[in-house]
Amino acid sequence: MDTLNEPQEKDQECCHDHRKSHHSEKTKKNLTTRLNRIEGQIRGIKGLIEKDTYCDDVITQIAATTAALNGVAKLLLEAHMKSCILERVQDGDHEALDELLITIQKLMKK
């Protein structure tokens, strides 16, 4: 698993300045690789349905894909908390905490 404590590139700004993230290239590559794998899983699920695969087997694949997608969300949330939220709070923007709580609530609705 990729560590999110990597030094930030100097030419990039915090996400709250222009509402952009500032992930390292290594982190972006990790996330993209995971998403490409998930995209393949989705295509596989579609194929299973087209082939009339037993429902329980399809559901198992859906559960695995959901877990993989949740893994991506957890990595992004961790990076967001350690960079964007931390920097905003240090700058005195305590509304960032309310934004974070809303984001966590969205993730927990599942």
Question: Any idea where the domains of the chain sit in the sequence?
Answer: 23-108
From CA 58, how far away is CA 65, in angstroms rounded?
A: 11
Q: What pTM was computed for the model?
A: 0.75
> Is the CB of residue 41 less than 8 Å from the CB of residue 64?
yes
Which is it for the CA torsion 12, 91, 75, 102, positive or negative? negative
pLDDT value, residue 110: 57
pLDDT in tens, the chain (110 residues): 444 444 444 334 445 445 677 778 888 999 999 999 999 999 999 999 999 999 999 999 999 999 999 999 999 999 899 888 999 999 999 999 999 999 999 988 85
The fold for domain 23-108 equals Methane Monooxygenase Hydroxylase; Chain G, domain 1 (1.20.58)
pLDDT value, residue 22: 75
